[in-house]
Every structure is written in C-alpha cells, then in structure tokens.
Homo-oligomer: A and B are copies of this chain.
C-alpha cells in the first residue's frame, strides 16, 4: 500500500478563490503590446472594440498580483473542478526510475481540456458586459468546444471559425460544438473580407489558425455588440489558467511534495503558463529553484527555432502586435502534423521568461510523442490528447535522466486533455503510417521574412 494516493482531489473549500498574475512578480516586464494603428503601446481602450472591457484591463494589468475569481465563475468551476493531481505509479514502475512523477489532469470535462478554465471566465465577463455574442477561432477544436460549453451555460451566441482542414477531418468536433448550440464556419470562408481574399488567391486553402483568428476578429468588430475571444497566448488567458498551477501547488503541499522539474506542452502557452505560475513565483522571489521545461512540436518550434520579435497574432494582420517567440504569422505547420500546438507565436510572458533564462524548451517529433502517448494510455488508463502527450514525453525523458543519474527527483507535468477526437492520428501511428515533418531552415527564413518592420523597434 502506497502512502501517497494515486489521485488527490482538493476539496471544494481548498480550491483557489483568486487567479495569480505572474507578471506582478517578473523582474522585467515583457515588451508592451503595440496598437498597429498608432504604433504605440496599446491602452485598454484601444482593445475595447475587440475584447470585452474587463478582459482588456486584465490583459494590460501587470501589477495586480491576485484577481478575485467571480462567484459565478467559481460556481461553474466547481461543476468540473478541482482536477486531480495524479501520481503516475505505473509509469514510474515501467520506466524503472527513482523519480517521482506527478501529473495534473485537466481532461475530465466534456471540452476534454484545460481550455474550459479560461472559456468560462471569458464568457462570464462578456455576459456581464451585456454583449450580444462572441466570435472565436479553433484549430484542433478543444478551445471551440470549451467556449461552446461556456457560452451555452451563460446563454451567449457564439460563432466559431474552424480551420478548414480540421473542419473536414474532425466532423465530430463540429458536432459537439453544435450540440452546445454554436455556429461553426469553415475558415477561410466567404463571411469576411480576409477569408474572401485568401479564397481568391487559393480556393482550395485548408486554412490556418492565423487566418481563422483574422476572420473571427473581423466578424466581431463588424457585428453589433459582439467581441472576440482567444483561448491562448494572451496574458488574460494565462491569468485564468493559473488555477491549474495553484491547485497543483496546494495538492503537492498536502502531500509534502514540491517539484524539482515542471514540464508542460506549449502551443500558445496557456497550459504551461498556468501550470508553472505559482512555482515560477517561487523562483522569481527566491523561495525555490525548480526547472521549467516547455515541450513543443518539432514541426512548429516557435521557442526553440523562432525569433524573439514583434509580430502580428494573425495572418490578416489586424490584431495588435506582440513581442514573442514567433515563426512568422504566415507559418503553417505541415499538414501531417497531428493535433494542436500549431500556432506561430508564443505567449509574451513565457517568451520573456524563456528569453531571460528562467525556462528551458525542447522540440520533439510526433512519432516519439505518440509512442509516449500509447505507452502512457496502457499504463495510466488515460488516452492523452496529442498536445498533452508532448508533456508526457518530456516527463519520461526527464525521468530517464534521473534513472541514469540515480537522482530521485520530483517531476510534475500538465496533462491537459484527452485524445478521443484524435483517433485518426492514433490510427496512423498504430498502423505505422505516421511520419515526422520538421521545417527546414529555408522554410523558416521564408516565414521570418513576413515579420513586420516596426519603426524605431525592429
């Protein structure tokens, strides 16, 4: 009988009542968001046409340390949270490692991922402001599903621009969003200028996340009393996702544990930023010195091979500019890249921390990712989302280093979601037809060439 339980759930009373704003403890702030119209740092009111007001304020507030979670959001969190902190005993045993492996599992809700944590907050603030509806984009479909759930709950109409290649490959993702009452449009579409422009150039375009963002933003600012919401990259999203890290830290404290290494997958950074938040606070304030490892796909390697530069968040170049690790807003990962983690940029907060040496990053190939995913599923009875499996692989690699060195380190990783809607990719792995695609230096040079020139900055 093991002393530490396999799964630890906090009680409802132990759940965090506030989100933690990591920016408030950063030694140096990331460079400000730039309003492309004025080429000056964006003010909240610059963002009001696109974002709802409270979210715009959260986006630009780098000093408030804690934000109260509104009562209505807390109530909805309690419907599916707290999420468990799980000790991966079977995985440890199979790896024969002295390391202790914990993971925070965010997949136990119908959206199937951590995305719901921010979706509920964003839908709530939109409802509070009396908006008529929201628009957003979705790639793999996790964010779209989460926001559909949240909007259904708060009674807000939602239009989702879904990257066309996903729309066609994942009819069930579309079906689940429609079950929650959302309208789903394949992007690029004829409903926006940006979409029509892209279709004119290439009628068979499969779309991209950057293009879907452009369409969703255009739709929001041209529809009366609509706003746009985004599920990653933004500071507000990392703020909401801090609940992952806060719960993890409380649960580990109850067990008398503290992580030596925190591992997370990264696309836009929403999960990793939330998971590491309170542990990074300890590092920034000198209370502890854990390592942080971001695991990204080799087919979309924004941190390990991107440039730290100002870039647009979308293809249509209508969003504010942010300084981040980026592959260029025109970058599209290979069509054989499975799952999410396909965004060209990275959270400005994480970009800055990485740039300043507080974090490490590794890029991994998807065949290795699915090998780790399948192994994990057999041992721990959870079929991970391909995105989440990047973190599993990162944790396994760290645990194997511990085996080599004989060190009994404590590893915490974020298991962001489940892979029920990714069976096509699993089948291609099982059948041995999955391949890897790593962009060449030339590919990257080409997309770096699209980086905007900003007078006086870059």
Binding site for B on A (CB under 8 A): 5-7, 9, 11-12, 76, 78-80, 89-90, 108-112, 116, 149, 152-153, 171-172, 175-176, 178-181, 374, 377-383, 418, 420-421, 423-424, 426-427, 429-430
* Complex Cα spacing A179 to B426, Å: 7
* Complex Cα spacing A110 to B419, Å: 9
Residue of B nearest to A383 (CB): B110
Residues on the B chain within 8 Å of A383, using CB? 110, 176, 179
Say how many copies of this protein the assembly contains.
2
* Complex Cα spacing A12 to B5, Å: 6
Other than the given A7-B12, A116-B381, A153-B379, 8 more pairs (CB < 8 A) read A6-B79, A76-B381, A79-B89, A79-B381, A171-B427, A172-B172, A178-B430, A179-B427
* Complex Cα spacing A379 to B109, Å: 12
Least Cβ–Cβ distance between A307 and chain B, in angstroms: 37
Residues on the B chain within 8 Å of A426, using CB? 175-176, 179
Check A430 against B179 for contact (C-beta < 8 Å): yes
Residue of B nearest to A418 (CB): B110
Residues on the B chain within 8 Å of A11, using CB? 5
Check A423 against B176 for contact (C-beta < 8 Å): yes
Residues on the B chain within 8 Å of A418, using CB? 110, 420
Kindly identify which residue among B377, B380, B420, B429 contacts A420, using a CB–CB cutoff of 8 Å.
Answer: B420
Check B5 against A78 for contact (C-beta < 8 Å): yes
Residue of B nearest to A180 (CB): B378
Residues on the B chain within 8 Å of A12, using CB? 5-7
Shortest Cβ-Cβ A-B pairs, 10 listed: A172-B423, A420-B420, A175-B427, A175-B423, A5-B12, A110-B383, A6-B78, A152-B378, A9-B9, A80-B381
Given known contacts A11-B5, A110-B418, A180 and B377 CB-to-CB distance under 8 angstroms: yes
Given known contacts A11-B5, A175-B430, A108 and B108 CB-to-CB distance under 8 angstroms: yes
Residue of B nearest to A427 (CB): B175
Check B380 against A79 for contact (C-beta < 8 Å): yes
Given known contacts A11-B5, A175-B424, A178-B430, A109 and B382 CB-to-CB distance under 8 angstroms: yes
